[in-house]
Each structure stands twice: as structure tokens, then as C-alpha cells.
Amino acid sequence: MKDVTEELLSFSHFLNKNFDPVSNSFKRKHPDDDYLNIKSMEIFIQANWEILVEMQICIEDENLEYYNSGADLFTESYRVVNPQKNGNTKIMVSSKKRIIDYFENQEIAVSFFEFIKFVSSPKPGFFSDTTPFDYIIAEDTEGRQYLLDKNDLIFLHSKIE
């Protein structure tokens, strides 16, 4: 596994800077169509995930899993740039120190989690797909989800086995 913390935190910074202006542009263009605005943001995020993260960390035959639920743009894929390619690598997270799950507000003993997406946490135990993207949603091997502070984590690029 390769440490890609810098690249993931850079992507989080990109989202913090660009999410609101882009979202507001979609809302101005389509003020009465929340579904279209959500789908447009998913495409925006997925395209930038592939450009800003995947193209930086993957070698020639590697493709990163899509971000969160991906972009519902093509029937055969949730990807944007190369929809015919399946993800064969993923982002895992591990701890710099002890990990606190902010859903339960307790320390957890899992060593590695699969990264799902960046989120904000407006109040303890809750998350939102809005800025600031200071937390992540991650999943353990049994599918349980956790709300984790991104600054407590190391992001790792890993092959899918």
C-alpha cells in the first residue's frame, strides 16, 4: 500500500474550495430540479476524482474505484473519463493515532477502513454532503460505516483483492 494522504487531502481542499460555487451554479440554472442538481454534482465530483486523484496515484493499468456512488452518466459504469474500465484499486484509511468514530463518539479498534467519501459533520453523530469536508465516511470489512476526522488518518492506495 502506498501513502496517498497528500493527494486525498488536496482533493478535500479542492472540494472545499469549489463545491459551493459549482453547486450554486447548478441550482441557479435549474432552480426547481433538485434531482438534476444532485446528479450534476455527482458527475462533477466523480470527474474530478478521476482527474485529480486517480490520474495522480494510479499507474498505467490501475483504475481507482469510483468516489462514493460515482456518476450515473453511463449505463455500463459509474465512471466518467474511462467508463469501460473497472476499478482495480481503492483507497483505504488507517490511523495516525487512536481513531474516534463520531457517529458513536467512541474509540474504535479497527486498523483499516475503506474510504467512501468526504463529508462535513454539523453536529456530533451526523454528517452532510456539504462544506467543509473535514470528515470522511469509511467502511469496515463487514460493511459498518464510521464517521472519522480526516486529520487523524493516513490514506493508502491499495489493490483490490
Q: How confident is the model at residue 159 (pLDDT cuts 50, 70, 90)?
A: very high
CA distance 143 to 75: 25
User: How many C-beta atoms surround the C-beta of residue 95 within 10 A?
Assistant: 17
**pLDDT band at 77, cuts 50/70/90?**
low
Q: Label residue 74 by pLDDT band (50, 70, 90).
A: low
Closest CA to 68 of 44, 37, 101: 44
pLDDT band for position 81 (50/70/90)?
Answer: confident
Number of domains in the chain: 1
How far is Cα 117 from Cα 136, in angstroms, rounded to an integer?
Answer: 6
**Distance (Å, whole) CA 68 – CA 44:** 12
User: What does the pLDDT average to over 21-26?
Assistant: 93
Per-residue pLDDT at 64 exceeds 80: yes
Which pLDDT belongs to residue 75?
Answer: 61
Give the predicted TM-score (pTM) of the model: 0.89
CA separation for the pair 136, 150 (Å, rounded) = 6
Give residue-wise pLDDT tens across range 97-140.
Answer: 788 888 888 888 778 899 999 999 878 788 999 999 999 999 99
Which pLDDT does position 136 carry in this prediction? 96
Q: What is the span of the domain harbouring residue 45?
A: 2-159
3-state SS, residue 63: coil
